[in-house]
Amino acid sequence: MGNYSVLFEPLDIADIRLPNRIMMAPIGTNYCTSEGEVTGRLTAYLKARARGGAGLIITEGAYVCRNGRESSNQLGLYDDRVIPGLSELAGVIGDAGSRLFVQLNHAGRQTLPEVTGSELVAPSPIPCKIMDKEPRALETGEIEEIAEAFGEAARRAKEAGVDGVQVLAGHGHLLNQFLSPYSNHRKDHYGGSPENRMRFPLEVLSKIKAIAGRDYPVSFRISIEEFIEGGLTIQDSIAFSFRLVEEGVDMLDVSGGIYETGPVIVQPMLLPRSFFVEKAARLKNAIGGKVPVAVAGRIHDPAEADRHLSQGKVDLIAMGRPLLADPELPLKARVSRESEIRWCISCNQGCMDRMLMQKDITCLGNPLCGNEDDYELTPVQDQKKVLVIGGGPAGLQAAITAAQRGHAVTLYEKSDNLGGLLNIASMSPGKDVLKDLKGFLVNQVKLHGVEVKTGVTADLSIIEENNPDKVILAAGSIPSVPGVSGIDNEKVVLAEEILAGNREPGDKTLVVGGGMVGCETAMFAAEQGKKVILVEMLEDVAFDLGPFYKAMVMRKMEQLGIKIHASSQLIEVKDGKAILQSGEENTEIGDIDTLIIACGYEPDNRLEEVLAGKGIEYDVIGDSKEVRKMLDAIHEGFECFS
Ligand SMILES: Cc1cc2nc3c(=O)[nH]c(=O)nc-3n(C[C@H](O)[C@H](O)[C@H](O)COP(=O)(O)O)c2cc1C
Ligand code: SF4
């Protein structure tokens, strides 16, 4: 067994025994039917996490009434029709050795009328700034009906054989809206004093206990702080937790934030790891260990998780995205195979960014996430000699999958290092976590016996020498350089050269291109105390980032004093000056020490013509095919041979 002192110890929640202290945090998937029923896809996805060793699985938030629905293919528990599907799921999870709780939720004002099919409801008619739709204030009778709906939903879960329920009283949803002075401005006995604001969530708890039985385990998930002026503080949350414990709650699960402070809920890589642990420890201490306390939030490393447990900070570690990236993380840790863990890099590209677009989730690094039953990665009959050209994310993944299918694979990479753009990207501020993904891919290539040749540029003679049955062209991309007068100047450098440390940014640096690479390079230079100006021809910068990461990047650029010129195009470089055109006007920026080019990339598909000419079977994948996100590169690499 791996070197863990508490992580694999059992834990009791009420009279339910969990086999270990790893809990799959609730993650909305959009895998259910439009009526909220469990599908085979949801079952296969959760089964993989249970078989992978998570002791407790918490489902995504299930809506308890239709006007509390948050996404179109969300799990629902509003009607008895969902019981059979849920019952099958409970059986599958139990057979895999885990316990199952269903999370119950009502989104209140944090949804859209298009999704609920009716007007939004909330404690007070105050819109959530993200949704920007004014809700109607609930009548007293309606509040009682919703509390009843939570009770009925718990009854359905119990009838289906689910081990317990978790009530979502955080993340800015309806119960959180009642608790918070920020969103609850009611004048009746549900608003005003802390006791009044707690009334509805406590009524929900008592309804569940009354309808599903006092012994039926109930966990509450709370936002320990809302991180917004006038919102809930840790003191408020501790006071609420005291009351929950008095009223018989069986477990507390600490998270934080509301939709208006979204990145705090699903922390991008710029936020620290173990984000809520110290706050959860304060809460556990305050309630005197009366019920188990769980915590989520970028606790992605089992060693770190074990440390929090062994220091008595919390009783249970919730992992959401880490188990999307690698359902077998618990098992691998248990048998000391940590080097084989596919780490979550907190990019949100496959999960939260897709969720926000009402799409089904997946994972950037794990193409099997959400497709668990669709692929079998066993050796094929027709084994081929495969040549992969390019050792970036697409090429590495293609090589791994090809080798898993039994093909004999040789990979050529022109530079001395595998990893491609991962090497450069991991040098941007706060992105060193990308090295974990590279480490995983490189390790898998080795484990699967791929023959790797670095420092060799593949050309026709190399292809002919290898005599492959199939070539995968994954040569990546080449930086685009604007063809303006004076660009051929010693002060002009590529963003990659700066990030790789081959060139230093000067005291006054102009970055041309406001996409992800431009923003990150601008931050990299500004963190070294340089004066930085960022120029972008579009109206907006950071346009290619997901909303949560973008919010963090914009805040950080402001803190670093980076000056942004949007809707401006570089038209000339002359005598240390950059001439920018914005509409009809030209602006001159003088005394520039370094001009950094971050104007995107073009596919490097130069070998395609050669391959086509020779009649060799080939696929072009990743940026070589079309410059896109890393998720596309890895998933395309996987699909070549899956
Ligand atoms: C795609 C996605 C959907 C989520 N859906 C829910 C949800 O339904 N209920 C909930 O309480 N938290 C939800 N969360 C938050 C996670 O449970 C977790 O608190 C958060 O991702 C931070 O933990 P992690 O770093 O281990 O992922 C979601 C997170 C993601 C990425
Ligand atoms: S998409 Fe990114 S953040 Fe989401 S689980 Fe995968 S690696 Fe983690």
Q: Could you report the per-residue pLDDT of 271-314, keeping only the tens digit for each?
A: 999 999 999 999 999 999 999 999 999 999 999 999 999 999 99
Highest-confidence segment of 244-248, 371-375, 610-614: 244-248
Closest CA to 32 of 68, 80, 85: 85
Question: Is the pLDDT reported for residue 337 higher than 80?
Answer: yes
pLDDT in tens, 420-448: 999 989 988 889 999 999 999 999 999 99
Question: Is the pLDDT reported for residue 376 higher than 90?
Answer: no
Ligand 2 atom closest to 362 (CA): 1
Question: Is the pLDDT reported for residue 571 higher than 70?
Answer: yes
Chain mean pLDDT for the chain: 96
CATH top class, domain 385-479+602-639 = alpha beta
Intervals of CATH 3.20.20.70 along the chain: 11-356
CA distance 266 to 388: 36
Average pLDDT over residues 455-471: 96
CA of 391 to the centre of ligand 1 (A): 32
Give the pLDDT score at 444: 97
Ligand 1 atom closest to 361 (CA): 1
The answer to whether the beta carbons of residues 96 and 44 sit under 8 Å apart is no
Right CATH number for 11-356 from 1.10.3720.10, 2.60.40.420, 3.30.2010.30, 3.20.20.70?
3.20.20.70
- In this predicted structure, which of 73-82, 150-159, 296-305, 576-585 has the lowest mean pLDDT? 576-585
Confidence of residue 34 (pLDDT cuts 50, 70, 90): very high
CA distance 242 to 222: 12
Ligand 2 atom closest to 364 (CA): 1
**Ligand 2 atom 5: residue of nearest CA:** 321
Give the pLDDT score at 2: 66
Count other Cβ atoms within 10 Å, centred on residue 629. 17
Ligand 1 atom closest to 61 (CA): 8
Confidence of residue 333 (pLDDT cuts 50, 70, 90): very high
Average pLDDT over residues 354-358: 94
CA angle 291, 272, 261 (to 5 degrees): 80
Does residue 223 sit in helix, strand or coil?
Answer: strand
Question: Is the pLDDT reported for residue 1 higher than 80?
Answer: no
Please tell me the CATH code under which domain 492-599 is placed: 3.50.50.60
CA of 39 to the centre of ligand 1 (A): 20
Give Cα separations from 55 to 20, 47, 58, 96, 243 (angstroms).
5, 12, 10, 10, 27
Confidence of residue 642 (pLDDT cuts 50, 70, 90): confident
Question: Is the pLDDT reported for residue 386 higher than 70?
Answer: yes
Ligand 2 binding pocket includes 325 (Cβ within 6 Å):
yes
CA of 351 to the centre of ligand 1 (A): 9
- In this predicted structure, which of 50-54, 126-130, 359-363, 572-576 has the lowest mean pLDDT? 572-576
pLDDT in tens, 162-192: 999 999 999 999 999 999 999 999 999 999 9
Ligand 2 binding pocket includes 350 (Cβ within 6 Å):
yes
Confidence of residue 549 (pLDDT cuts 50, 70, 90): confident
Give the pLDDT score at 429: 81
pLDDT in tens, 3-16: 899 999 999 999 99
Average pLDDT over residues 330-334: 98
Intervals of CATH 3.50.50.60 along the chain: 492-599
**Ligand 1 atom 22: residue of nearest CA:** 297
Average pLDDT over residues 583-612: 95
Confidence of residue 529 (pLDDT cuts 50, 70, 90): very high
